[in-house]
Amino acid sequence: MILDKDLIKKLGNNLKLKKSAIDFISDTIPYKYSYNFTWLGRPVIQFPQDLIAVQEIIWKVKPDLIIETGIAHGGSLIFHASILELLGKGEVVGIDIEIRKHNKIEIEKHPLFHRITMIEGSSIDKDIVKQIHELSKNKKKVLLILDSNHTHEHVLQELQLYSSLVNKDSYVIVFDTVVEDLPDSIVMDRPWSKGNNPKTAVWEFLKNNDRFKIDKEIENKLLITVAPDGYLKCVK
């Protein structure tokens, strides 16, 4: 299948559709829409559209290692591991400040656990950063997915600490950049908000890093995504 890039660009330039997409996200957050879905038995807590995009990236990049910050119920770990299983290669390492016991048990007994490693602690802790860098040695293709603490400072530190591990033509995927586009009332019980979120961290990071470019085509074709400006392709 050949994508019609002109139509995708027009889709992304359609302000009415883009507003409708943001309105959809904003209107469904109170209903915890992203909590409605599972992947191979585990809650995945993602929008289906973004899962499709991540699947496309994994299949194209064929990473030897996927690093994901934020584990929660483990559905995304299982999702990534399932694509790697089909590829017949690769492993996933997940980092979380707290891996709850009941989630850990369910993830460890999953048939895809042989491709998964879990590390408990802060993703910006120097010892964990060192551990991840060690795990990444000799990996030809590394994919980085950031989905933990969504404050500007935390995400910016994650980008600065881990982006060097990502190879040309692979990606850094930064989730929940959409916070910048939502009314503050939607996220009022969180430490992140408009002006202090993953998107502002991405913008700041890109000011001093020319290895990555925002892949607008992905968000243009998705329209409904929690990661606008969050699909960063490594170009050098």
Domain boundaries, the chain: 5-234
pLDDT at 8: 96
pLDDT at 1: 66
pLDDT at 202: 98
pLDDT at 187: 74
Contact call for residues 226 and 178 (beta carbons, < 8 A): yes
The overall average pLDDT reported for the chain is: 96
Task: Give CATH for domain 5-234.
Answer: 3.40.50.150
List, in order, residues 6 or more apart from 65 with CB less than 8 Å away.
90, 91, 92, 93, 135, 136, 139, 141, 142, 143
pLDDT at 186: 81
Q: 225 vs 46, 178, 187, CA distance in Å?
A: 9, 8, 17
> What share of the chain in percent tops pLDDT 90?
94
**Which tokens in the block code for residue 61?**
């990049």
Give the helix/strand (H/E) hosting 24: helix 15-28
Q: Select the more confidently predicted residue: 36 or 187.
A: 36
Q: 185 vs 23, 27, 182, CA distance in Å?
A: 14, 12, 8
pLDDT at 185: 81
DSSP label at residue 62:
-
Q: How far is residue 222's CA from residue 219's CA, in Å, rounded to a whole number?
A: 5
Q: How far is residue 96's CA from residue 123's CA, in Å, rounded to a whole number?
A: 7
Find the mean pLDDT for residues 13-29. 96
Contact call for residues 43 and 35 (beta carbons, < 8 A): yes
pLDDT band with cut points at 50, 70 and 90 for residue 58: very high
pLDDT at 134: 97
* pLDDT tens, position by position, 147-161: 999 999 999 999 999
Helix, strand, coil % in the chain, rounded to nearest 5: 50, 15, 35
Model's pTM, two decimal places? Answer: 0.97
* pLDDT tens, position by position, 101-134: 999 999 999 999 999 999 999 999 999 999 999 9
pLDDT at 190: 85
pLDDT at 128: 98
Lowest mean pLDDT among 82-91, 188-197, 206-215, 224-233: 188-197
